[in-house]
Structure 1
Amino acid sequence: MHHPEENPWKVTSEQPVYDNPWIGLTEYKVINPSGNPGIYGKVHFKNKAIGVVALDDELNTYLVGQYRFVLNEYSWEIPEGGGPLGTDPLDSAKRELLEETGLKARDWQEVQRMYLSNSVTDEHCIIYLARGLQQYEPEPEETEQLIVKKLPFADVYQMVLDGEILDSVSVAAILKVQLMLTQGII
């Protein structure tokens, strides 16, 4: 019997199924933890997910609205995007904040690390809190048609509670920052 923290899966073969600049999909033939043969699919992400809660001195924050192709619906989110693996995720966070909102921040704090869907992907996320904000011109990517809203953080927190913000990175980030505010850490 395996120790509970040891890998009980045995891979007998693997076959790349799909690959593009952002993701790769591999199908594995496996022996599962009960000893039976099976298959497992894994989506490999070639970037880290990055999220930023930008909080000004009056406790306002910034949401980015955009139509999400995969969901086929509009979504309100914190500024977020991808950072290439092997690069400093803080540099990616700074780039994303500037691209999407036109903001630069003086102070940065990592507030959360998490996996986004660990049953089928290896996507890892890092969330930052950005303070000491200065406004510049946004530099959106060609695939982004964005609306930026500046709102009191308390209103954004209520949007999460009311189910108006559903993006997992945004929900986790906003709940974590609310907890930090409640505990007087911010």
Structure 2
Amino acid sequence: MTENPWKTRKETTIYQNPWIRLEEHQVLNPAGKEGIYGKVHFKNKAMAIIPIDREGNTWLVGQYRYTLNQYSWEIPMGGGPIGQDFLESAKRELKEETGLTASKWTELLRIHTSNSVTDEEGIIYLAEDLTEGETEFEETEILQIQKLPFAKVIDKVMKGEITDSISIAGILKAARVLGF
């Protein structure tokens, strides 16, 4: 079924900041019964990058994730304002977090990060033909960077050592595309 069985009766903004808007929707559910639905609207698209060098290495970024209250190893990623060129946002994020620039870019995947509560979309790129440079961390970032063989990163996903959903999806798609 491609037609929306939900009917929105009223939308109310509960909270917003520069990154998200929390909405409460008064709805009629598919059975025709009244209910509510909460939605987190993201004001940016998630941009994620898998940089691969000629030797088959990639870079992971480690940082403390406030919402999870734990440390996380991930592929380089960040937000790209809706309405701006997504590839340009990805290039900026790669440079900020790793110091890398790439001359070859391939879009690997578009995903919805948690489609039951949010409309966030993520775009994952493969970046190749890399040049190393200086990082440009944002003031909110205290990052560690690891350069690892891509095969070891795949193992980290399979062992549950990488838990970020965008990272997992991107790594596994890149593994298939690159023939790992």
Report the TM-score range of the alignment, normalised by the length of the smaller protein.
over 0.9
Q: Structure 2: where are the runs of 5+ without partners?
A: none
Deviation at 1:14, TM superposition (A): 1.3
Residue in structure 1 matching 2:171, options 163, 170, 174: 174
Which string of whole-angstrom CA distances, capped at 9 and with x for unpartnered residues, describes residues 120-179 of structure 1? 100001000000100110000000000000000000000000000000010001000111
Alignment pair present for 1:137 and 2:134? yes
Residue in structure 1 matching 2:113, options 116, 122, 133: 116
Which string of whole-angstrom CA distances, capped at 9 and with x for unpartnered residues, describes residues 69-121 of structure 1? 00000000000000000011000000000000000001000000010011010
User: TM-score, with normalisation over the residues of structure 1?
Assistant: 0.96
Query: Cα RMSD (Å) of the superposition?
Result: 0.8
Aligned residues: 180
Partner of 1:13: 10
Residue in structure 1 matching 2:27, options 9, 27, 30: 30
The one-letter code of the counterpart of 1:98 is: K
Partner of 1:39: 36
Dislocated runs of 4+, deviation >2 Å: none
User: TM-score, with normalisation over the residues of structure 2?
Assistant: 0.99
Alignment pair present for 1:49 and 2:38? no
Partner of 2:83: 86
Partner of 2:155: 158
Write the distance in 1 (CA, Å) between the matches of 2:178 and 2:105: 16
Residue in structure 1 matching 2:71, options 63, 69, 74: 74
Q: Structure 1: where are the runs of 5+ without partners?
A: none
The one-letter code of the counterpart of 2:143 is: L
Write the distance in 2 (CA, Å) between the matches of 1:51 and 1:22: 17
Write the distance in 2 (CA, Å) between the matches of 1:14 and 1:155: 46
Write the distance in 2 (CA, Å) between the matches of 1:14 and 1:98: 39
